[in-house]
Amino acid sequence: QWTTSSIVDETVAAIREQVGDRRAICGLSGGVDSAVAGALVQRAIGDQLTCVFVDHGLLRAGERAQVERDFVAATGVRLVTIDAVDRFLGALAGVSDPEEKRKIIGREFIRVFEQAARDLQAEAGAAGEQIEFLVQGTLYPDVVESGGGSGAANIKSHHNVGGLPEDLQFSLVEPLRALFKDEVRRVGLELGLPETIVHRQPFPGPGLGIRIIGEVTADRLETLRAADAIAREELTAAGLDRDIWQCPVVLLADVRSVGVQGDGRTYGHPVVLRPVSSEDAMTADWTRLPYDVLAQISTRITNEVPEVNRVTLDVTSKPPGTIEWE
């Protein structure tokens, strides 16, 4: 039986063994997994690690500030933030297919990392150590669902498994590859990460890009970000964060419906609330949220987000649905 501290000790030892005195970079997605992976590797190799946070414009509200402030304060990690909004939106322009989006986002991530590594290398000068390793927060369920486990079908290309380019210039360090989410959270707390990071809702690497059904544009992202922030705020205010696994908000960007607001007709977009309960994300049930909480989320979203005139609830378990819509 592994205790959390023995998982930490053994993983730290394994990372030291793998990386030696060489250098690594870690991409932070804003999610729990990459934060814990980064903190573990930081514990193992200290300043040989640089974390890279890519602002790709597909983030939740407040995400960048949380990484730049709270994560750095908790870990003391070296952090570089890269503004890549235009690059990602450019690459995603005109693309609606879910797998294509995932692959584009995965590819652009890696390219941005490679550029970051080159820049860091250049800063270090000729005497600096080459950056050889890329840290990723891949979990066991990601491995299985991307077809890496024994005999599993490829359901989705999770960006950090199936979306890697074939000419990847890094060796991967994946310290969470054998763990489930609850173990990852315990490891995060053991490493001193704040509850606000460790117990936040899981967030997919491709971010809001796979929660817009249809083409991803800056305007649509702004709409979804606002709706998502309201849903998270209300769930937190109702004390429900620990009762749900996550509650994606999905924007049906190519669907419009007629509504009425004030004196006028509206012709806006629906969002879908997708609250789920789960142990490990491999299976999930839809969460029976209290009606008053649903009502409050619905009222606020339709009042505060002008492009959204309808809020719907997804009552599908996994299987047959997946948690994310793409």
Binding residues for ATP: 29-35
Q: Using CB under 6 A, which of the segments 70-78, 91-99, 204-212, 299-307 binds ligand XMP? A: 204-212
Smallest distance, ligand XMP to C-beta of residue 201, A: 8
Smallest distance, ligand XMP to C-beta of residue 16, A: 25
Interaction pattern, residues 23-42, with ligand XMP; x per rule: CB under 6 A: ----------x---------
The two structure tokens encoding residue 285: 């049930």
Residue 323 near ligand XMP by CB under 6 A? yes
Question: What residues from 264 to 303 belong to the interface with ligand XMP (CB under 6 A)?
Answer: 281
Binding residue count for ligand XMP, defined by CB under 6 A: 17
Q: Which is nearer to ligand XMP, 4 or 322 (CB)?
A: 322
Smallest distance, ligand XMP to C-beta of residue 254, A: 20
Smallest distance, ligand XMP to C-beta of residue 158, A: 4
Residue 318 near ligand XMP by CB under 6 A? yes
Q: Among residues 30, 57, 175, 204, which is the contact residue for ligand XMP, using CB under 6 A? A: 204
Q: Among residues 56, 158, 186, 269, which is the contact residue for ligand XMP, using CB under 6 A? A: 158
Q: Using CB under 6 A, which of the segments 16-24, 73-81, 171-179, 201-209 binds ligand XMP? A: 201-209
Q: Please report, as ranges, the residues that interact with ligand XMP according to CB under 6 A.
A: 33, 142, 145, 156, 158-160, 202, 204-206, 246, 281, 318, 322-324
